[in-house]
Structure 1
């Protein structure tokens, strides 16, 4: 009995410790207005299957309320390049990206660091944070932005924490 309880507690702790983190954009990884920009996150450490992506600004004169830019985003993608229309916001500071429940946008799963949207025509940062760490020379917002793609390793490394390998295979998160 005690052993089962200990195993259940350990399983629960592994799920609770699972974290969804937005790695880009951020303080040193801005967007360019009305351009393609990339959002990246730690998909392998999250138990959330999907979420809504919102854009928010701390200054309500810039953005009165969080704006949904993607209604349902699958977690396993690890990154998403948004269109020019989705990033058609005024240049300014104080923006954040929010990942929220698809059923209740006030249930926030993750929030990016504050970042700036620079004016159309500005250059992109030359160093970006990605899922696997930092890469240099790839603009975060360019059409050719590096997608968060992982190669090598074991299948278990691709399965979100708290999910069984069988469930991940059934959902198409990994390919055997």
Structure 2
């Protein structure tokens, strides 16, 4: 019985360390209307191969229900440029990006922090998020280049922590099996 309990705990630990998270946009990393924006997520920590990308807003006057902006997105890409042709929503606050099951969009894998879509011509964020304080995980806003792109990169700190937790749980299970 102890083996089954520990195996369930190890499996839960593995799932918990495999969380999918949206790292951009966020409350500190906004998008600019009618511009090229970056969507980034923690691809290396996720067990989901693909997902649908939805855009939602907490104000039903702006957006009644979430809309799909990418039907099927491969997880291994880690980020995607969102062009002005992929969504046509007015500038405003209360937006979120939702990563969901490709067949059942109500099965949500991850939701971004609420963020703002700023008007065309607004500057991209130049602040660095708390996660970027670690050199191995740098998700930061960047001033737009001449082409108007907002560029970020995702790190692998979560993978190192998640993998060590999974290996420790697997070693504990293996120890019980051999005992």
Task: Decide: shared fold, TM above 0.5.
Answer: yes
TM-score by length of 1: 0.75
Q: Is the 8 A contact 2:138 2:155 kept in 1?
A: no
Determine the structure 2 residue equivalent to 1:90. Answer: 90
The equivalent position to 1:133 in structure 2, one of 122, 132, 138, is: 138
Aligned residues: 158
**Structure 2 gap ranges (5+):** 167-179
Distance 1:123 1:22, change over 3 A: same
Determine the structure 1 residue equivalent to 2:102. Answer: 102
Deviations 1:33-80 (A, max 9, x none): 111110111111111111000000001110111010000111111111
Q: Which has the higher strand share?
A: 1
Q: Aligned runs of 1:42-81 on 2, under 5 Å?
A: 42-81=42-81
DSSP-derived class of the 2:72 partner? strand
Q: Quote the Cα distance in structure 1 between the aligned partners of 2:64 and 2:88.
A: 15
Determine the structure 2 residue equivalent to 1:143. Answer: 149
Shift of 1:19: 0.8
Query: 1:117 aligned to 2:117?
Result: yes
TM-score by length of 2: 0.74
Q: Is the 8 A contact 1:35 1:87 kept in 2?
A: no
Shift of 1:148: 3.3
Shift of 1:120: 0.8
Larger radius of gyration: 2
**Structure 1 gap ranges (5+):** 164-176
Q: Which has the higher helix share?
A: 2
DSSP-derived class of the 2:15 partner? helix
Q: Quote the Cα distance in structure 2 between the aligned partners of 1:34 and 1:75.
A: 25
